[in-house]
A and B are shown apart, each in its own frame.
Chain A
Amino acid sequence: MNIVVVIKQVPDLVEELELNDTGTDLDREWLKFKVNEFDDHALEAALLIKDAQGANVTVVALDNGLDIDKALYAAAAKGADRVVKVTGDFEGYVSSHAAAKALGAVIPSLGADLVLTGVQAVDDRDGQLAVLLAHQLGMAHVTVVTDINVSGSAATVHKEYGGGMIGEFNVQFPAVLGIQAAAETPRYVPVAKVRRAMKDTNIDEISADAAGVDAGTEVQKMYKPETGSGAEMLSGSAEDIASRIVEIIRGKGV
């Protein structure tokens, strides 16, 4: 079976986020990017299927002009059979609707039985990709998936609701699944292996565009939220702070 995994990079939230001059987007110039953690889980879920019963895994990403090559090499080092970069006008921020359009044009040529991508990303203002992509491809969809059991041309999947409740579904292929978490922690790949993959792997390039498709609404303003009253920040040495915290806890009568 053929599994296509769609990955993308998102700003690393560990870094301080700065706004651009117009206050409508992040200042992308100095941002550090990393692969969306849920896309990492999607790749892991695909590789687990491959390990268990064999599958051909293709990893696809839009060429956003950043370090996407490195992310694709890392995917190859982890066990992806083929890595594809979708070239076109994708620099800066790409909306989920536009990404779905572009990927929807490319994925049919890859012959996917199953398309996996992360359940969400930290920047998908116009909605999560998985279901939008399923519509472009005319495929079935289930998102917030935590477990996949393939048998023949269908899979039994677990979809997570609130409170830890799970809905179990049977999904006929071809289908798009939005992955919340793989059954295992995404595998680690040593740098040396990635370097080897950089030598041995060829990144295929396929061009596509998303002409005429955007998020459907425009950002008027982006700003750091001032929710609630904000915390009283405790100052002093770790010891002083610890004493204050003990006081606060005791003050609550516990």
Chain B
Amino acid sequence: MVYVIVEHIKGQIEDITFEMLGKAKTMGSGVTAVLLGDGVDTLTGQLGAADAVLLCQDPNLANFNPEAFCKTLASILNGKNDDIIMVGNTSMGMEIGPGLSAALGMPLISYVTDLSDTSVTSALYGGKMSVQSGVSGGYIASVMAGSFSADDGNISGSPGVETVSAPDLSNTKVRFTRLIEPEGGDVDITQHDVLVSVGRGIQNEDNLEVVQELADKLSAALSCSRPIVDNKWLSKSRQVGKSGLKVKPKVYIAVGISGAPEHIEGMKDAECIIAINTDENAPIFDYAHYGTTEDLFDVVPAICERL
């Protein structure tokens, strides 16, 4: 049996869940979706890719809570050590995967991009290496978003629902207080045809002028990788990737971005990706349509001159 942990937020099932369900279906040993929450029974109709749903509802599960979810899943999945458990390598999954591995004593493999009964592939070293791990028997796979097609697992239906009760969750040391929505930015990078996206290769805040000029000349928006936001050089609303926004522009020009899996997640569906990166082994070139290893400080001004 393959157990897929359903991830949902604000009443919406996340794509990663459908991606995992689609893959699990092809593995041939039956699929059970595990759904935790409160008042979420209506979501089971979207889990048609699963043969069955284990549903656990409790007021303490109304919002994701690392402790309550780990405790509940450990109780529901106790004794399933010979099965495969799939969880997203997401913010929630990064609590659940290791939490279940520790609680159930099951092996855990992270950053998973493909899996079977005998081997599991992970993307490590910022996407610069693929690693195949041998497995026999049960294990937990923490699956990277975008590894499988969501369409294959997004099937409505009425799988058999088994209701299970939650353990006592009244005394958790972690308490959910609220969800904070992202602040709207000055631009909506998801709405632009052309994005000039800048990464750590730009070195410092002053150098942003170089890419801003290119963006201006192309009437494009300036977007970026995470470190640029962490350095407070650009606002969060311009971040592309796992913890930023998913974008699908016609043209995405990645300037000094290495192409870490968390960044790729947000932009790999762009129509045309052009990468400028001095490291010929940068993973961004595996996803780009066109690439150059010229120094960005030479090539970007040269592009501007020609526009």
Q: Which residues of A contact B (CB under 8 A)?
A: 11, 13-14, 16-17, 26, 41, 96-97, 100, 119-120, 122-128, 130-132, 135-136, 140-144, 156, 158-172, 175, 178, 180-181, 185, 215-228, 230-234, 238-239, 241-246, 248-249, 252-254
State the Cβ distance, B185 to closest chain A Cβ, in Å.
9
Closest chain B residue, CB of each to CB of A140: B173
Is the Cβ of A242 less than 8 Å from the Cβ of B303? yes
**B274-296 with Cβ < 8 A to chain A:** 274-275, 279, 281, 283, 285-295
Is the Cβ of A159 less than 8 Å from the Cβ of B91? yes
Max chain B CB contacts within 10 Å: which of A144, A163, A248? A163
Which bracket fits the contact residues of B? 35 or more
Is the Cβ of A249 less than 8 Å from the Cβ of B251? yes
Q: Tell me whether B27 is interfacial, beta carbon within 8 Å.
A: no
State the Cβ distance, B269 to closest chain A Cβ, in Å.
12
State the Cβ distance, A184 to closest chain B Cβ, in Å.
9
Closest chain A residue, CB of each to CB of B241: A162
Q: Tell me whether B103 is interfacial, beta carbon within 8 Å.
A: yes
List 11 A-B pairs, Cβ < 8 Å. Answer: A143-B91, A162-B90, A172-B173, A219-B131, A222-B132, A231-B275, A232-B289, A242-B302, A245-B290, A245-B299, A246-B306
State the Cβ distance, A19 to closest chain B Cβ, in Å.
8
**In the docked arrangement, what's the CA distance between A243 and B273, Å?**
16
Among the listed B130, B258, B290, which residue makes an inter-chain contact with A224, where contact means beta carbons less than 8 Å apart?
A: B130
Q: Tell me whether B110 is interfacial, beta carbon within 8 Å.
A: yes
Chain A residues whose CB sits within 8 angstroms of the CB of B101 once the complex forms: 97, 126-127, 132, 216
SS class, residues of chain B in contact with chain A: mixed
SS class, residues of chain A in contact with chain B: mixed
Is the Cβ of B124 less than 8 Å from the Cβ of A125? yes
Extra pairs beyond A126-B109, A169-B65 (12, CB < 8 Å) = A122-B124, A124-B110, A144-B91, A161-B9, A162-B90, A164-B182, A165-B179, A170-B177, A215-B107, A219-B134, A228-B287, A245-B290
Is the Cβ of A125 less than 8 Å from the Cβ of B176? no
Q: Tell me whether B242 is interfacial, beta carbon within 8 Å.
A: yes
**In the docked arrangement, what's the CA distance between A144 and B64, Å?**
13
Chain B residues whose CB sits within 8 angstroms of the CB of A135 once the complex forms: 98-99, 102-103
As a 0/1 sequence over residues 132 to 170 of chain B, the CB contacts with chain A under 8 angstroms (1 = contact) are: 111100010010000000000000000000000000000
**In the docked arrangement, what's the CA distance between A226 and B238, Å?**
29
Q: Decide: A127 near B108, CB < 8 A? Known: A166-B180, A168-B180.
A: yes
Is the Cβ of A225 less than 8 Å from the Cβ of B127? yes
**In the docked arrangement, what's the CA distance between A231 and B174, Å?**
46
Among the listed A162, A163, A223, A246, which residue makes an inter-chain contact with B130, where contact means beta carbons less than 8 Å apart?
A: A223
**In the docked arrangement, what's the CA distance between A27 and B111, Å?**
21
Among the listed A123, A127, A162, A239, which residue makes an inter-chain contact with B98, where contact means beta carbons less than 8 Å apart?
A: A127
Is the Cβ of B92 less than 8 Å from the Cβ of A252? no
Chain B residues whose CB sits within 8 angstroms of the CB of A127 once the complex forms: 97-98, 101, 108-110, 142
